Chain A
Amino acid sequence: MAAPEVFTIAQVPLTAHAFNADRSKLITSLNTNEAQIYGRQGNEWKPEVTLSEHDKLITSIDWAPNSNRIVTASQDRNAYVWSQTTGADGNSVWKPTLVLLRINRAATYVRWSPKEDKFAVASGARAIAVCSFDADNDWWVSRLLKKPIRSTVLSVDWHPNNVLLAAGTADMKARVFSAYIKDVDSRPSPSVWGEKLPFNTICGEYASPAGGWVHSVAFSPSGDVLAFASHDSTISIVYPGGPAVITVRNSTLPYVSLTWTSEDALVAAGHDCQPVLFSGSAEGWKAIGSLDDAKSGAPLTPVSTGSSSGGRFASAGVGRLGTNEAFARFRNADTLGKSSATPGSPVSGGDSSGDTELMTVHQNTITSVRPYEISANGNVAKVSTSGVDGKLVIWNVSVPAGTGGLSSRLGGMHLR
């Protein structure tokens, strides 16, 4: 089983990331109002094009694989749809088209629909703008889903039938709406969520037991199951018409992003800085384990972090004094409270050496997890994650053998 591919794109947070259809190009925003397209060269991503049109921070990006269009949403209340055309000199150029969303607050999240003829923009205006292209006027038209949203919409996900839309909001509810647009969609066949659904019909409204903002929602590949992650550290799975909402309570920090890998498994990631695999069925769900094998992350001993701390411990590790705990304590006393060169990492709790690197691959919150590679049987084999530490990591969707979870590893460390 291969180790995850780790790419350090920047030293600043990556607000969002998306790949093109064949995964040769990556678009991401480095916490600014510009988006950068990178091209894969061997084991690295080289910056190629910068898309700058937005006035304020870009909050979300999505790349439509079939029509090769990019949509970016920003705090400046706008969204731009970018199409690739060949310029006069033969180079490809990305041309932006402004979409007037008619919202009066920032856009927070954007996703193309499965057929790529519509996209949904979640916003702080307590509304979701569903945008479609009006060919007669050569213009993107937006319709707002408003009732009964009472706070910022944090994330949206489309159902495979191109009509239903799930939304997670800060009013602690996950809802399923119908985003049926008259001249764009054909009448959808009845599903478990309902039939004959005019625009803005609510097909379901769900909450988790302790409440908390719903950070992320996702439909399963068939569309018959809905999962959402809330700020009360739970993952809830909804089988409409079946049993009540199944909740998986975790003793970890909350998850902020999730994606389904097959009809009975999903990967969630968030403030714990590692992606975790969950699996189950209508009978019950549980966490299987972390995709992060901490052994391959930053080592546990204090001596080998020389490069990240600027060579401070370069001479350590030689002879008996190097591993002496008392010696290490005095040596590290003057680094207490100093932030190390490692980007954005807090001192991890029970680590007596003062090493400020986390044991996970990601050194800070993972903000986005997306499917990267689909295997032959239709399940997602690899996922990509990006986070506040500026890293982009591609994981295999399988729990490394022998990982009893990070807690057992930490326990093992103290026994030294």
Chain B
Amino acid sequence: MSHTVDIPQELKDSLRKFRFARRSAGSAAIIVKINKQKLIMEEVEQFDNISLEDLAEELPEMSPRYVVLSYELKHKDGRVSFPLVLVNWAPSGSETSLLTLHASAFIDFQQTADVSKVIEIRDGADSLTKENIDSKLGV
């Protein structure tokens, strides 16, 4: 399969560390963007224990991003688990060629991050709510 965007080794290591970090409370997130000039993916920022509203603030309004989210999920029977969720943050007002690049490299990124659960957010900050994610995760 052809790769449009390269994933550098540091990013892969960063993703592994994020995946195996022990979580005690709160949702953690790692934000990745595509560098259009160099055609590689880069880590933008990492957050420990961030609320969804703050995460929505951090994400750009008009630019696509990949977000690997370690989401604090409270089950009905009282258990708390931290499933890994991949958020495809792709607001429709973003620049078209960047959106296309983002979409083409998404499968690659998903395989590298090794996350099965994917949530698409196409209309911006209004969709990044706890209720929305909980319903997508089947709670």
The reply to whether A141 and B93 contact each other, CB–CB distance below 8 Å, is yes
Complex Cα–Cα for A141 and B61 (A)? 10
The reply to whether B93 and A142 contact each other, CB–CB distance below 8 Å, is yes
Complex Cα–Cα for A182 and B95 (A)? 17
In chain A, what residue has the closest Cβ to B93? A141
In chain A, what residue has the closest Cβ to B62? A141
Q: Does A89 contact B (CB under 8 A)?
A: no
A176-196 interface mask toward B, CB cutoff 8 Å, 1 = contact, 0 = none? Answer: 000000100000000000000
Chain B's interface size range is 10 to 19
Please indicate the chain A residues that have their CB under 8 angstroms from the CB of B98 in the complex. 137
In chain A, what residue has the closest Cβ to B57? A182
Please indicate the chain A residues that have their CB under 8 angstroms from the CB of B63 in the complex. 134, 136-137
A130-144 interface mask toward B, CB cutoff 8 Å, 1 = contact, 0 = none? Answer: 000010111101110
The reply to whether B95 and A102 contact each other, CB–CB distance below 8 Å, is no
B21-62 interface mask toward A, CB cutoff 8 Å, 1 = contact, 0 = none? Answer: 000000000000000100000000000000000000000011
The reply to whether A143 and B95 contact each other, CB–CB distance below 8 Å, is no
Q: Determine how close the nearest CB of chain B comes to the CB of A191; give it in whole angstroms.
A: 24
Q: Does A316 contact B (CB under 8 A)?
A: no
B54-94 interface mask toward A, CB cutoff 8 Å, 1 = contact, 0 = none? Answer: 00000001110000000000000000000000000000111
The reply to whether A182 and B61 contact each other, CB–CB distance below 8 Å, is yes
Q: Does B96 contact A (CB under 8 A)?
A: yes
In chain B, what residue has the closest Cβ to A181? B61
The reply to whether B92 and A102 contact each other, CB–CB distance below 8 Å, is yes
Please indicate the chain A residues that have their CB under 8 angstroms from the CB of B93 in the complex. 100, 102, 141-143
Question: Chain A at the B interface: mostly helix, strand, loop or mixed?
Answer: loop
Within the complex, which residue of B36, B95, B96 is in contact with A134, where a contact is CB–CB below 8 Å? Answer: B95
Please indicate the chain A residues that have their CB under 8 angstroms from the CB of B36 in the complex. 137
Complex Cα–Cα for A100 and B91 (A)? 14
Complex Cα–Cα for A143 and B92 (A)? 10
In chain B, what residue has the closest Cβ to A101? B93
Interface centre among A100, A137, A182, by most chain B C-beta atoms within 10 angstroms, is A137
B90-114 interface mask toward A, CB cutoff 8 Å, 1 = contact, 0 = none? Answer: 0011111010000000000000000
Task: With A134-B62, A182-B61 as known contacts, state yes or no: A139 contacts B92, CB within 8 Å.
Answer: no
Interface centre among A100, A139, A142, by most chain B C-beta atoms within 10 angstroms, is A139
In chain B, what residue has the closest Cβ to A129? B93
Please indicate the chain B residues that have their CB under 8 angstroms from the CB of A143 in the complex. 61-62, 93
Complex Cα–Cα for A281 and B61 (A)? 42
Complex Cα–Cα for A136 and B94 (A)? 11
Q: Determine how close the nearest CB of chain B comes to the CB of A389; give it in whole angstroms.
A: 40
In chain B, what residue has the closest Cβ to A182? B61
Complex Cα–Cα for A136 and B36 (A)? 10
Please indicate the chain B residues that have their CB under 8 angstroms from the CB of A102 in the complex. 92-93
A335-373 interface mask toward B, CB cutoff 8 Å, 1 = contact, 0 = none? Answer: 000000000000000000000000000000000000000
A115-157 interface mask toward B, CB cutoff 8 Å, 1 = contact, 0 = none? Answer: 0000000000000000000101111011100000000000000
Please indicate the chain B residues that have their CB under 8 angstroms from the CB of A134 in the complex. 62-63, 95
Please indicate the chain B residues that have their CB under 8 angstroms from the CB of A136 in the complex. 63
In chain A, what residue has the closest Cβ to B124? A143
The reply to whether B61 and A139 contact each other, CB–CB distance below 8 Å, is no
A182-216 interface mask toward B, CB cutoff 8 Å, 1 = contact, 0 = none? Answer: 10000000000000000000000000000000000
The reply to whether A100 and B96 contact each other, CB–CB distance below 8 Å, is yes
The reply to whether A137 and B95 contact each other, CB–CB distance below 8 Å, is yes
Complex Cα–Cα for A139 and B62 (A)? 10
Q: Determine how close the nearest CB of chain A comes to the CB of B62; give it in whole angstroms.
A: 4
Complex Cα–Cα for A102 and B36 (A)? 23
A74-103 interface mask toward B, CB cutoff 8 Å, 1 = contact, 0 = none? Answer: 000000000000000000000000001010
Q: Determine how close the nearest CB of chain A comes to the CB of B95; give it in whole angstroms.
A: 4
Q: Determine how close the nearest CB of chain A comes to the CB of B130; give it in whole angstroms.
A: 20
In chain B, what residue has the closest Cβ to A134? B62
Complex Cα–Cα for A137 and B33 (A)? 13
Q: Determine how close the nearest CB of chain A comes to the CB of B42; give it in whole angstroms.
A: 13
Please indicate the chain B residues that have their CB under 8 angstroms from the CB of A137 in the complex. 36, 62-63, 94-95, 98
CB within 8 Å of B: which of A286-316?
none
Please indicate the chain B residues that have their CB under 8 angstroms from the CB of A182 in the complex. 61
In chain A, what residue has the closest Cβ to B96? A100
Q: Determine how close the nearest CB of chain A comes to the CB of B80; give it in whole angstroms.
A: 33
Complex Cα–Cα for A100 and B94 (A)? 10
Please indicate the chain A residues that have their CB under 8 angstroms from the CB of B62 in the complex. 134, 137, 141, 143
Q: Could you give 26 example pairs across A and B, Cβ below 8 Å?
A: A100-B93, A100-B96, A102-B92, A102-B93, A134-B62, A134-B63, A134-B95, A136-B63, A137-B36, A137-B62, A137-B63, A137-B94, A137-B95, A137-B98, A138-B95, A139-B95, A141-B61, A141-B62, A141-B93, A141-B94, A141-B95, A142-B93, A143-B61, A143-B62, A143-B93, A182-B61
- New A-B contacts (4) at CB < 8 Å, excluding given A102-B93, A141-B93, A143-B61: A100-B96, A134-B62, A143-B62, A143-B93
Residues of B within 8 A of A (CB): 36, 61-63, 92-96, 98
In the A-B complex, list the 5 residue pairs whose CB atoms are closest, starting with the nearest.
A137-B95, A139-B95, A141-B62, A141-B93, A137-B98
